[in-house]
Amino acid sequence: MNGVKVISGLLYPEDEPGLRDWAELRLTERFGEIERTGGPFVFDYTDYYRGISPKLARCFFSFRGLEHPGGLAGWKELAIGIEADSASGCGRRVNVDPGYVDGARLVLASTKDNAHRIYLDRGIYAELTLRRRRTGWESFSYTFPDFGSGRYFDFLDRVRLDWRRDMRARRGGGSD
CA dihedral 103, 99, 70, 112 (to 10 degrees): -130
Q: Round to whole Å and give the CA distance between 100 and 79.
A: 14
pLDDT, tens digit, 9 for 90 and up, residues 35-83: 999 999 999 888 888 888 989 999 999 999 999 999 999 999 999 999 9
CATH architecture of 5-102+147-170: 2-Layer Sandwich (3.30)
C-alpha pair distances (Å), 25 with each of 22, 74, 106, 155: 5, 18, 23, 20
φ/ψ of residue 125, rounded to 5: -120, 155
Name 87's Cβ contacts closer than 8 Å, sequence gap at least 6: 93
Reference 126, options 111, 138, 137; nearest CA is 111
Alpha helices in 32-152 (DSSP H): 72-85, 145-148
HSE-CB for 85 with a 13 A CA cutoff: 13
Domain residue ranges in the chain: 5-102+147-170
Query: In a structure prediction context, what are the per-residue pLDDT tens digits for the chain, which is 176 residues long?
Result: 589 999 999 999 999 989 999 999 999 999 999 999 999 999 988 888 888 898 999 999 999 999 999 999 999 999 999 999 998 777 889 999 999 999 999 999 999 999 999 999 999 999 999 999 999 999 999 999 999 999 999 999 999 999 999 999 988 866 55
Q: Round to whole Å and give the CA distance between 8 and 47.
A: 21
Residue type, 98: P
Task: Read off the pTM.
Answer: 0.93
